[in-house]
Amino acid sequence: MTQPLLAVEGLAVALRTDHGLARILDDVALTIPPGGSLGVVGESGCGKSTLLRAILGILPKGATTPSGRIRFQGRDLLAGADWARGRIGFVPQDPYLSLNPVFRAGDQILEIMRRHAPGSRADHRRKLVELFRAVQLPEPAAALDKYPHQFSGGQRQRLLIAAALACDPALLIADEPTTALDVTTQREILGLLKRLVAERGLGLLFVTHDFGVLATLCDRVAVLYAGQVAELGPTRAVLDTPWHPYTRLLLACHPDRATTLAGIPGTVPAATAQPSGCRFHPRCPLAQPACAAAPPALLALGERAVACPRHEVPFG
Amino acid sequence: MRCRLAELLTAQDLVVELGRDRLRAVDGVSLSIAAGETFGLVGESGCGKTTLARALLGLQGVAAGRITLAGATVTATGRAGRAAVQYVHQDPGAALDPWWRIGATLAEGLTIHGVTDRAEQQARIAEMLAAVGLDPALGARFPHELSGGQQRRIGIARILLLRPRLVILDEPTAGLDLSVQAAVLRLLAALRDRFGLTYLLISHDLGVVRRVCDRIAVMYLGRIVETGAAASLFAAPRHPYTRALLAAAPHLDGRESAAPPLSGDPPSLRAIPGGCRFHPRCPIAIPVCATTAPAVENVTAGHQVACHRWQEESPHA
């Protein structure tokens, strides 16, 4: 078996808050093989962004030192991530907030390349024009000297994709890169990401709350609930026959599937007051007394894994 | 199927010009909303959805055209004649004063609309909080103590307290998780039935629009390009822009639509293309599209489209 590109094992992160210690992530394990793509899906507050921040080494102040391991290309990122800068590209959520309005677009990206990519400034400029062409920005050479406000929302997201690719990363991490965009622009950007990732053989870690986006882009999916992995497996299999009661209920809310506007009873628990046992049990239609007593183990079944012993029980 | 009801709000050939440059954000829009229906308005950012809503609310002056509310012309009255039309903000969290308790925010609207008796205010607020599925004790809390879904419910309660007939909902589920979104949509449907409301729902989320709207208008660069019953518009979209919008939504089964993606960004109001405004991005444009603006034609009664070629191209499956 080849070495995974990214392997997260037993990752736990907590935040110190006024209301006590918030356990944002708890025993999270995932892997991405070279060239593989994993979608992380979950509702607000499930720990998606904290997972990305832990991998990128940019956890907020007040976070405890993460426990567990994050290995990238075989080396532990938690022991120090400076060596990996440039090898992991990041596409942020909001193209409007992620560019400095008073600097030219080209200069902002050249600054990253000066720090993390080999070569002279002239090499970097040449390469960036190529990248701008690859992300289909109009007039790539002239775009280098424009300011962020001179680009539309979709074009800014293309700029940020170019920035993420500027230092030849092996892994691309994207945090809901299309939520701020219109649906027609979203379709173009997803198509672009899919093509670039395939052409360059990149690994992709894609965070989203949109199952439809996930289905078009990722081979595998991890469903997070309250900081833990509820279910993991090939995208097609999980979307066609979800196992975990949470995944089943969440997919039933999707416009493609919904027959009624049911929703899920209750709300995601606060990270400072996680329920005992299975964290989903207070909202789960299949819950039994045992579910409140002990947290379920992540059962591996072939290519898939699920953290629920009652995953085969249909809803009554 | 609801029977055909009386028109509550209509707009005829409405034109709205913005700023010193007199940009035409809304250019010749006609629509009519029947009492009791949920009318969807969809389109990309910058197409004029919100400007049209502001004109209907009386918050934005109109350069030409006519607006009627329950049969009376209200084009030039401003907000004064239009208390029956109210607006729920896209981000109700941002629309709540962070230093005010929820109860005080809710009471302010009542005071402005002439309900000044403290006891009556409190009774109506408690009743409305219960109606939107919240604990009346929440009135003592501050906005930051509420979740996104709860803030959204407060935004709705705040408007319904004023007993409007038409509520304009601007992206009522943007930024909400799927499970919360479903709950908010269910609540909106229940409130519509309970209080006899009519909704104008502005959204670019076609999944939401499809589930809750009776009729839909598709807007592109200041004009309505297609209007129809939700069922017929989704089953057989006639305008190439409507088809492109429908095709762009990602699906759970991962299937890619047969329709080619739209190229380019929506053009700006500062450089409106001649002829049909959509022609530079249209996959089926012919020379006449660049020179002549298409007239609005009836596909069936109740389904209108503005496209030179709507009869020639069969919709993509």
A271 belongs to a structural domain: yes
* Predicted local confidence at residue B5, as pLDDT: 57
Q: How confident is the model at residue B205 (pLDDT cuts 50, 70, 90)?
A: confident
| Probe site for chain A from B177, B180, B186, B257 (most A CB atoms < 10 A) | B177
Query: Does residue B2 lie in a domain region?
Result: no
| A231 is a domain residue | yes
Same domain membership, residue B101 and residue B202: no
pLDDT digits (tens, 9 = 90+) for A116-142: 888 999 999 999 999 999 998 888 999
Contacts of B303 (CB under 8 A, 6+ apart): B226, B227, B228, B229, B232, B233, B238
Helix axes of B240-248 and A183-200: crossing angle, nearest 10 degrees:
50
Residue B189 with chain A: CB contacts under 8 Å: 261
DSSP, collapsed to helix, strand or coil, labels residue B21 as: coil
Nearest Cα to Cα of residue B30 among B226, B205, B165, B209: B226
Segment 193-212 of chain B within 8 Å of chain A by CB: 204-208, 210-211
| Percent share of chain B, pLDDT over 90 | 59
Q: Do A191 and B248 touch (CB under 8 A)?
A: no
Give CA–CA dist A252/A280, Å, rounded: 16
Query: Does the structure show a pLDDT above 60 at B3?
Result: no
Range of the domain at B189: 7-84+164-305
B192 in contact with chain A, both atoms CB, cutoff 8 A = no
pLDDT of amino acid B179: 83
* Residues B194 and B80 placed together within one structural domain of the fold: yes
Cβ contacts of B253 on chain A, cutoff 8 Å: 215, 239, 256
- Contact yes or no for B74/B27 (Cβ under 8 A): no
- On whether both B203 and B75 belong to a single domain, the answer is yes
- When pLDDT is cut at 50, 70 and 90, the band that residue B313 belongs to is low
Do residues B227 and B295 both lie within one domain? yes
Q: How confident is the model at residue B95 (pLDDT cuts 50, 70, 90)?
A: confident
Mean pLDDT over all residues of chain A? 90
Distance CA B136, CA B127 (A): 8
CATH code of residue A261: 3.40.50.300
- Residue B314: the pLDDT is 56
Average pLDDT over residues B8-32: 93
Residue B263 pLDDT greater than 90, yes or no: no
Mean pLDDT computed over B205-234: 92
The residue in chain A having the minimum alpha-carbon distance to the alpha carbon of residue B44 is A182
Q: Read off the DSSP letter of residue B46.
A: T
Residue B315 located in a structural domain: no
Taking 50 as the pLDDT cut, the residues of chain A under it are none
What is the per-residue pLDDT for A272? Answer: 85
pLDDT digits (tens, 9 = 90+) for B161-196: 999 999 999 988 887 888 888 888 889 999 999 999
Which residue has tokens 């993420």?
Answer: A164
Query: What is the pLDDT averaged over residues B256-281?
Result: 80
Say yes or no: B205 and B267 in one domain.
yes
Alpha helices in A64-149 (DSSP H): 105-116, 121-134, 140-143
Q: How many domains does chain A have?
A: 1
B69 and B106 in a common domain: no
- Asked if residue A230 is part of any domain, the answer here is yes
Task: Look over chain B and give the mean of its residue pLDDT values, rounded to a whole number.
Answer: 89
From the list B147, B148, B177, the residue facing A209 with the nearest CB is B177
Alpha-carbon gap: B253 to the closest alpha carbon of chain A (Å) = 6
Structural domain includes residue B66? yes
